[in-house]
Amino acid sequence: MPLLTILIVLIVAGVLLWLVNNYIPMDHKIKNILNAVVVVVVIVWLLKVFGVFVYLKDIHL
C-alpha cells in the first residue's frame, strides 16, 4: 500500500473524528469511548499494513 494512501486514510479518519467531536452533540463519556475505539482500530490497521501483525491477516475489520 503506498504511503500516500496511508496518509490520506489517516487524514480522513482524523477529520471525520474531529467533525463528530465538534458537531454531533453527545455525552462526554460516549465521545471518549468513540475516540478510543477509533484510535485502537486505526492503530491495528496500521500494524496490519506495515506487517507487524502478520497473524491478523485473516481478520477483516
Q: What is the pLDDT of residue 38?
A: 94
pLDDT over 80 (residue 22): yes
- Does a structural domain hold residue 43? yes
Rounded to the nearest 5°, which phi and psi values hold at 21?
A: -65, -35
Would 41 be classed as within a structural domain? yes
What is the tally of structural domains in the chain? 1
C-alpha cell at 3: 504511503
Task: Judge whether 61 lies within some domain.
Answer: no
Confidence label for 27 from pLDDT (cuts 50, 70 and 90): very high
pTM to 2 decimals?
Answer: 0.78
Nearby residues of 31 by Cβ (< 8 Å), 6 or more positions away? 20, 21
**Domain region containing 38:** 3-56
Q: Above 80 in pLDDT, residue 49?
A: yes
